[in-house]
Amino acid sequence: MRRAVFPGSFDPITLGHYDIIERGLTLFDEVILAIGVNADKKYMFSLEERKQFIEEAFKGEPRIKVMTYKGLTVDFCKKQNAQFILRGLRNPGDFEFEKAIAHTNRKMSEIETVFLLTSSGKSYISSSIVRDVIRNGGDVSGLVPDTVKVKQNE
């Protein structure tokens, strides 16, 4: 079985993430959406909310699992018997950042990183932009799956 881990904070999941996940399913038998837990990071959405957004977005897709983890992604991959890490690239800056992480992960393990370019119509979407739109009361309907429930005026 070809299993990939797609790690991220998914705060919140965006249509860019969704694009990479759907296309990843054409390459892998199973994709684990791994929500990383970082105690030093302040999230807009709780871990439970982020997990629920993703589970609802992919309900009915048995090849997707949603899990949370702490620590190194490569250690999580080993525990899940995943041979690949799936990552999306929006721009050259993403590539440089992700390349360094991929080289480090490869040095620590035999796990291979697979990069997919985000579809051109979604390459501008990032979770940080979505959070800014939410903070300012904007409409995020074209940026996130319908399962992302935004509480306005917070």
58 or 39, higher pLDDT? 58
State residue 154's pLDDT score.
44
pLDDT at 39: 77
The residue with greater pLDDT, 78 or 123, is 78
For range 48-77, the mean pLDDT? 96
Q: What is the mean pLDDT of the chain?
A: 93
Read off the pLDDT band of 30 (50, 70, 90): very high
What was the pLDDT predicted at 78?
A: 97
| Residues identified as active-site | 17, 41, 90, 127
Give the residue, 151 or 108, on which the prediction is more confident: 108
pLDDT at 44: 95
Q: How far apart are CA 92 and CA 116, in angstroms?
A: 13
Contact, 14 vs 131, CB < 8 A? no
C-alpha distances (whole Å) from 33 to each of 8, 50, 139, 151 are: 8, 11, 26, 24
